[in-house]
Structure 1
Amino acid sequence: MNLQDFNSTRADELRPLLAACCDVPGWVDTILADRPYAELAALTKVADEAARALTNDEVARALAAHPRIGDRAQGGSTEAAWSRKEQSGVGDDPVAREALAAGNREYEQRFNRVFLICATGLSATEMLTALRHRLTNDDTTEAVVVHEELRKIALLRLAKAIT
């Protein structure tokens, strides 16, 4: 979809696409409310500011839409396809997959949420290194990191959606 199509498409038709970028209704509403956009940079700026303003509850809601790192998202949805591509660096190495699964379990026990990382362009080793490092964070620091990772994912997905 190009920017002109984005600007002219009915809001109810765009909601699923935007929710696949970041499943937070307020984020979606903010982006839709500022249409039309003269250029992609303006859209990206609004999306970025809206992502930075997400509350902890909104971040938690968005996390619920993300599969664990190393799990292959199932289904034919846009979000599932994006997730599979973003996590392509995990590969099919069973040792790496098991290490990530173990790290995910430890992370979820420690922070009571799914481990989220902007995985685009990262190898399984890089993801695992980041996971292990982030396990040393305190709760407040990790909440900030998760929010930033979610923001990066949302903006990358929006860029994929609007070409």
Structure 2
Amino acid sequence: MEHVNAASAPELERTLLTCLRSPRWSRRVAEHRPYPDLASLLAASDEAAYDLAWPDLTEALAAEPLPALAPDTYAVAHTALSAAYAAYEARFGHVFVICLDGLTPDETLDHLLQAIRSRLTNDPEEERAVVADELRRLATERLIDTLRGAGL
């Protein structure tokens, strides 16, 4: 935590933007330092994410990559997933986001297809809530990975 607390605000905000492409979120997390421990940092991250308005989330969504399958997955699976992504984007106007933390590569395809099918039945307001939750989960996962990998 000392690296997070000691980093300059611009440096920390740049690092945080790799976790969630929301300048408002990264500023809020950086501004609430010092953090006594990881749990406090993650709680602040969640709180900042919960406070994001839809325009902030849309900004973050614009930079989100689509979840990918392992390269050795059958071509027909890639085709099915591409069609599902296209249907989702046509319905909601943004990329499909989902946190796949804890899934094995063998579980990914079925989980993605099931989630897209299920979420396509949501009305736009329901889906906004799901998207916000998935972005928070992704930010948490990426923040933990960043802290492990960058020595922050």
Q: TM-score, normalised by structure 2?
A: 0.89
- 1:104 matched to which residue of 2? 85
| TM-fit CA distance, 1:116 | 0.8
Q: Which amino acid aligns with 1:52?
A: Y
**Does structure 2 retain, via aligned residues, the 8 Å contact 1:69–1:100?**
no
- 2:117 matched to which residue of 1? 132
Q: Which runs of 4+ in 1 moved over 3 A?
A: none
**Does structure 1 retain, via aligned residues, the 8 Å contact 2:42–2:140?**
yes
Q: Which amino acid aligns with 2:78?
A: R
- 2:129 matched to which residue of 1? 144
| TM-fit CA distance, 1:119 | 2.2
Please give the root-mean-square deviation of Cα atoms over the aligned residues, in Å: 1.1
**Does structure 2 retain, via aligned residues, the 8 Å contact 1:68–1:116?**
yes
CA distance in 1, matches of 2:14, 2:30: 12
Which of 16, 19, 43 is the aligned partner of 2:17?
19
Cα deviation digits, residues 7-54 of structure 1 (max 9, x gap): 111111122210011111111111111111111111111110111111
CA distance in 2, matches of 1:44, 1:68: 24
- SS of 2:18's partner is helix
- 1:117 paired with 2:115, answer no
How much identity, in percent, do the aligned residues show? 38
Aligned residues between the structures: 142
Which of 31, 34, 41 is the aligned partner of 1:33?
31
Q: Which amino acid aligns with 2:110?
A: T
CA distance in 2, matches of 1:124, 1:159: 24
Q: Which amino acid aligns with 1:11?
A: A
CA distance in 2, matches of 1:98, 1:16: 35
| TM-fit CA distance, 1:69 | 2.6
**Does structure 2 retain, via aligned residues, the 8 Å contact 1:100–1:128?**
yes
CA distance in 1, matches of 2:57, 2:10: 22
Cα deviation digits, residues 109-130 of structure 1 (max 9, x gap): 1111111111232511111110
Q: Which amino acid aligns with 1:99?
A: A
Q: TM-score, normalised by structure 1?
A: 0.83
Structure 2 unpaired stretches of 5+: none
Q: Which amino acid aligns with 1:50?
A: A
- SS of 2:10's partner is helix
